[in-house]
Amino acid sequence: MSSSVPRFGVVIYTHNRVDDARINMEIIRSLWTTSGLFKTPIPIVHAFNGDKQWWPKRYLEDVLVRQKNPGHFQGASELIDAGLSRMHKQFPDVSYVLVLAADTWMTKPSAAAKILSTMIREQQYLATSAWNAPKHLEMKEVGIATDCLFLHLPWAYRFGMLPIGYEEFWNRHSEMILYAGANSVMLEKLAFARFKQALWRDPSLKLSMLHKIRARLLELRERGRVHARIRRDGTWERTHHFPKIGLLTHHDAIAKHRIFKNVKNVSGPTIERFLKTKKLRVYPTT
């Protein structure tokens, strides 16, 4: 696997979940690096928009990109854009990138290797899951998960999937968005729209849009349903553990610890502290 897969990188984006981000890096530097499944070293770009005191200097990342925090959706979008841009410029030999939110840990490198092998074999450019919930199952309704996605980076830039450009989109279309009754733009839906725009620009497939999506997107069905149910107040209850791909997305430290304590071959000072204390530092939002 490691000899045949093009160089692979990871972008982690963080606001205030600093222990989550540190553990995410420790997982990659210990478990992933020693798995023998990837060309090493695996470059990590960390995009961060919290207070500088929360993350004063680089930890295990190769590159630290600091951003301002304009708010939840736009902030996440700009972190992803900044992290991918730096990866593309600083590591031009990286073809495939895994984008992870700080609190989204992938503890099965074999699952990631399988996803990458499939993408290469089938010439697929994006691998992710629908940001779904009961009664809202399709990507066209809810968009794609941006907390965990694999992307063919050169293709995404060549055909304009990147940058996502959240602020530009909002400034251009805010009147229509507000008129339609929405108060914000869902990053998950905008990212999916950018993918479809790039597919239109790519002349290599003479197919309908639906067939282009099916040909070039690998849906991570192993993740299953991202949201378990819709509560009475209309909010969506998240599913946080996806054992088939070893994905943990919990905010609750106790629940996360209950599963993570069984993961083998991971090491690092933040991991050791978490296993002992069952606590994860989360700074106040700015």
For residue 198, give the CATH number of its domain: 3.90.550
Q: Is the pLDDT reported for residue 286 higher than 50? A: no
CB 200 within 8 A of CB 209: yes
In a domain, 189, yes or no: yes
What does the DSSP 8-state code read for residue 205? -
Length of the chain measured in residues: 286
- Any domain includes 44: yes
Asked, for residue 25, whether it belongs to a domain, the answer is yes
Query: For residue 234, what pLDDT is reported?
Result: 66
157 lies in some domain: yes
Mean residue pLDDT across the chain: 92
Dump pLDDT digits (tens) for 23-41: 999 999 999 999 999 999 9
Confidence label for 180 from pLDDT (cuts 50, 70 and 90): confident
Please check whether residue 39 lies inside any domain of the structure. Answer: yes
Q: What is the mean pLDDT of residues 2-30?
A: 91
- Inside any domain, residue 16: yes
The answer to the question of residue 255 being in a domain is yes
Neighbours of 6 (CB within 10 A): 13
Q: What pLDDT was estimated at residue 136?
A: 57
pLDDT tens readout for residues 145-178: 999 999 999 999 999 999 999 999 999 999 998 9
**Percentage, residues of the chain above pLDDT 70:** 94
Q: How confident is the model at residue 3 (pLDDT cuts 50, 70, 90)?
A: very low
Sign (positive or negative) of CA dihedral 9, 195, 72, 221:
negative
Interhelix angle for 18-27 vs 269-277, to 10°? Answer: 120
CA distance 173 to 167: 10
> Could you give the number of structural domains in the chain?
1
pLDDT: which is higher, 255 or 238: 255
Position 283 in a domain: no
pTM comes to 0.93
Give the range of the structural domain holding residue 259, as residue numbers without chain letter.
8-277
- Least-confidence region, from 81-95, 137-151, 268-282: 137-151
Residue 8's DSSP bridge partners are 96
